[in-house]
Structure 1
Amino acid sequence: MLQAKAVDGAALKTAIEGRDGKMLASFYTDDAVVRVIDRNNPPSKPREIHGRQAIATFWDDICSRAMTHKVDAAIAEGDRLAFTQACAYPDGTRVFCAAILDLSDGRIARQTVVQAWDE
């Protein structure tokens, strides 16, 4: 079982840029939901990942890819944290992501991710 940890902008940046899927998964509540909106998952039918274990699998997949991640900005206010992220694959493909997180006792309860890929 993953040990839950509180999240802040600095910890999130360290985990994302370090491609540390275990650390990322530790930031979520057991019943967290991640909603992904992109070209293949439009707002009317977003991809939803339910529960910390499923979210851990999601992050393990992303962190195992040969790509770089850079958190450009992170802003916290109350029980919300937002950040932007730029990613690049070795072939030059770029991805931009904006996310907003709803926190519960310092952990992520709900996350909405909007991402755009080079096409």
Structure 2
Amino acid sequence: MLTTSTPVTGDAIKQAIENRDGRTLASFYADHAVTRIIDRNNPPSRPKEIRGRGAIASFWDDICSRMMTHHVDITLADGDRMAFSQACTYPDGAKVFCIALLRLEDGMIAEQTVVQAWDE
């Protein structure tokens, strides 16, 4: 079980994503956090939901274990809201792009919505 928590900043999330550091990414989430993913397979009416910091840590471990590059283009923060865009490339050249919207509680991610698209 994760016990370390780290308040999230734009610079910190950029560094963790670009370095494929799943443990640090997981440390940004509140224990009760929810991540919702909207994409071709998970439409807005039925987004994929990942509940709890442990499950979100597993999600990030999977993403960070993939042989791909990650680049965070933009991070914006306003009070208890944050957003960032992320471009990823697999070794074969296939690309993924996502935008994430975050709601923070006490500096920790409480809710995240990810909208993503990928090459097919």
TM-score where L is the length of structure 1: 0.99
2:54 maps to 1:91 = no
* CA displacement at 1:5 relative to structure 2: 0.6
Distance in 1 (CA, whole Å) between partners of 2:79 and 2:101 is 12
> Identity over the aligned pairs, expressed in percent?
69
Question: 1:79 maps to what in 2?
Answer: 80
Count of aligned residue pairs for this structure pair? 119
3-state SS of 1:40 partner: coil
State the AA in 1 paired with 2:19: G
Q: Summarize the alignment of residues 1-119 of structure 1 with structure 2, pairs less than 5 Å apart.
A: 1-2=1-2, 3-119=4-120
* Structure 1: 4+ residue segments shifted above 3 A: none
How does the TM-score come out when normalised to structure 2? 0.98
**Gaps spanning 5+ residues in structure 2: where?**
none
Distance in 1, matches of 2:34 and 2:52, equals 6
Q: Give the Cα separation in 2 of the matches to 1:80 and 1:93.
A: 30
Distance 1:33 1:70 in 2: 23
After superposition, the CA RMSD in angstroms is: 0.5
Q: Which runs of 5+ in 1 are unaligned?
A: none
Q: Distance in 1 between matches of 2:83 and 2:54?
A: 22
Q: Distance in 1 between matches of 2:69 and 2:5?
A: 25
